[in-house]
Structure 1
Amino acid sequence: MKHKPSIHFAICLNNQGYEASLEVGKLYQIIDDEQAQGNGLIRIIDESGEDYAFSTQRFYPVELPQNVEAILLATV
């Protein structure tokens, strides 16, 4: 049985109404939050450095190569 890799990053596609918190085209770290996911939200660390829940429609989750992800996670 193959384990599906977790996705830890997403690209912002829409920052309307959150221009100070999100930048379109920027890669953001995802924080696992099952309750948010159940409500159509994704929890990310925004420009303030804090984690907030936003609509999943604002982001496109991306699977990165393991070595790239490890470097990014080590720097945040």
Structure 2
Amino acid sequence: MAAAPIEKKVTAAIAAAYVGSTGLLASLAAVQDDARLISSLPDGLTPFVLALIPAAITAIAGWKAKHTPRPPR
């Protein structure tokens, strides 16, 4: 039995997670170091709010990517 191809949605989500966790997190760390940009957030909530940004990028990439067509059975 041949292995099924990896869905394009999964590939897009993986790529977005990688990009979001590398370059974007470095940018978010810089934002976190600049207290003026996030001063309105409670200190305990800040890491969770900043972590939502890469998660949102991953979710949107997976949602926007098209499904991989499957051959009829």
Report if TM-score (shorter chain) is over 0.5: no
* TM-score, structure 1 normalization: 0.22
* TM-score, structure 2 normalization: 0.22
Higher strand proportion: 1
